[in-house]
Amino acid sequence: MNNPFGNQKIDIDCPACHKSFKKSIGDLSNKRSIKCPSCGVDIKIEGDLGRQMRDLDKAFGKLFK
Ligand SMILES: [Zn+2]
Label residue 2 by pLDDT band (50, 70, 90). low
Contact present, 4 and 64 (Cβ < 8 Å) = yes
Determine the Cα–Cα distance for residues 17 and 63; give it in Å rounded to an integer. 36
- Ligand 1 centroid–CA 54 distance in Å is 23
| pTM listed for this prediction | 0.62
- Ligand 1 centroid–CA 23 distance in Å is 14
- Ligand 1 centroid–CA 64 distance in Å is 34
- Ligand 1 centroid–CA 4 distance in Å is 29
pLDDT tens per residue, range 19-59: 999 988 888 877 888 999 999 999 988 767 778 777 877 88
